Amino acid sequence: MEHTISIMAQAERKVTDTKTIPFGKVPTEHMFIAEYADGKWSNARVTPFQNLVLSPMALCLHYGQTVFEGMKAFVMEDGRINVFRIDKHYARFNKSLDRMCMPEVPKKLFTEAIRQLVSLDADWVPRDADGSLYIRPFMIASEDRIGVKVSDEYLFMIVCSPAYLYYTQPLRVKVETEYVRAAEGGTGMAKCGGNYGGAFYPTSKARAEGFDQVLWTDAKTHELIEESGTMNAMFFIDDKLITPALSGSILDGVTRDSLITIAREKGMIVEERPVTYRELVAAFEAGKRVEAFGAGTAAVVAPIASIVIEGVEYNCYTEQDANMYKLREYLYAIRKGVAPDTHNWNYIIG
């Protein structure tokens, strides 16, 4: 099915010094929106950024049918703009939609919408080495009806905002053994709004105790490390990259997948398997070099300075020769077009 996207461009560009803009605070001039009703997508358009008109009875406001993605665009060394791993993000978006009983977005519509929007707001893509344009595709149930049901109507939208480092300093985290982010059979593998809303309370409690984030554990035993905030959890122990294996309660992170692929290509030992917090304690107490970090689209590689486990604080290795920084630089090089893109991860806008 063909999807024609109409363009209603803003007459005046309002680009400012993107370096001073807090993450996710200021949108670019334009947004994308398409409507789903009667089993089909229609009225796809790029418009000036504007507020929505939504019924107070819209199902998304009551029953949680909301799904989103987080992507980034970069200015490459040759001046072209690259949207990183658009295919992987598209596949994960539709996987989340399926889990939430929401309609699939056709790939051509998804890709062309991002291409048109980013092209129109290309001046917002930071030229700084550590800058990017954060792209947020999302879908909400828009049918105006109070009643517990799967919606028959939806809005698919995309907004953008300039982004820099999500975390500017190494983090202090604690292993969370009381609250859980997700359980097997739940929605942990989907990027749906409820996963994040449910995490706010325990994360807020942790911050009140002086932590930046938590390391979530599994719902059954509270011993298996799962994720950290909005990031996948990864570790280097004695130069071996270890990360929890994907499960129904862990998000299939795009940055996680990219770093694992790069690590293997660079000859590093990689293990995707269950990781208990007791294994971390044993490594710390044996005097092993432990690197811990979060991996995510917004955070990229977020080093963890210390982990509190059962009340004991353990210091992680964060010196400049750490393996996690090497992986980050390899990733940056591919995104910027400095290193070969052997996996066709870069979607070039122009």
Regarding the domain with residue range 171-335, which homologous superfamily does it belong to in the CATH classification?
D-amino Acid Aminotransferase, subunit A, domain 2 (3.20.10.10)
Q: Give the pTM.
A: 0.96
pLDDT at 22: 84
What are residue 270's DSSP bridge partners? 241
Take residue 240 and report the two structure tokens written for it.
Answer: 């071996």
The beta strand positions in the chain, using DSSP E, are 6-7, 30-37, 40-48, 66-68, 71-75, 81-84, 132-141, 154-163, 171-176, 213-217, 225-228, 231-237, 240-243, 269-272, 290-296, 300-309, 312-315, 346-348
What are residue 72's DSSP bridge partners? 134
What pLDDT tens digit does each residue of the chain (350 aa) get? Answer: 457 899 998 766 677 778 888 888 899 999 999 999 999 999 999 999 999 999 999 999 999 999 999 999 999 999 999 999 999 999 999 999 999 999 999 999 999 999 999 999 999 999 988 899 999 999 999 999 999 999 999 999 999 999 998 898 999 999 999 999 999 999 999 999 999 999 999 999 999 999 999 999 999 999 999 999 889 999 999 999 999 999 999 999 999 999 999 999 999 999 999 999 999 999 999 999 999 999 999 999 999 999 999 999 999 999 999 999 999 999 999 999 999 999 999 999 97
**Of 156, 52, 43, 49, residue with least CA distance to 107:** 156
Q: Is the dihedral of CA 237, 238, 239, 241 positive or negative?
A: negative
Q: How deeply is 238 buried, as exposed, middle or buried, from its count of CB atoms within 10 A (0-12, 13-18, 19+)? A: exposed
Buried b (16+ CB within 10 A) or exposed e, 39-61: eebeebbbeeeeeeeeeeebbbb
Distances (CA, A) of 51 to 47, 48, 135, 143, 333: 11, 10, 18, 18, 37
Answer whether CATH 3.40.50.1580 is correct for domain 6-164: no
What are the φ/ψ torsions at residue 345 (nearest 5 degrees)?
Answer: -80, -25
Q: CATH 3.30.470.10: which residues of the chain?
A: 6-164
Q: Is 120 helix (H, G, I), strand (E, B) or coil?
A: helix
pLDDT at 2: 58
pLDDT at 58: 98
Query: What's the angle, vertex CA 153, arms to CA 149 and CA 158, rounded to 5?
Result: 120
**Of 323, 319, 242, 330, residue with least CA distance to 279:** 242
Distances (CA, A) of 23 to 26, 99, 297: 8, 28, 13
pLDDT at 21: 82
How many Å apart are CA 119 and CA 289, to the nearest integer? 45
pLDDT at 268: 98
pLDDT at 1: 45
Distance of CA 48 to the CA centre of its chain: 25
Residue that the structure tokens 């970090």 belong to:
293
Q: CATH 3.20.10.10: which residues of the chain?
A: 171-335
Q: Contact 136/9 with Cβ under 8 angstroms?
A: no
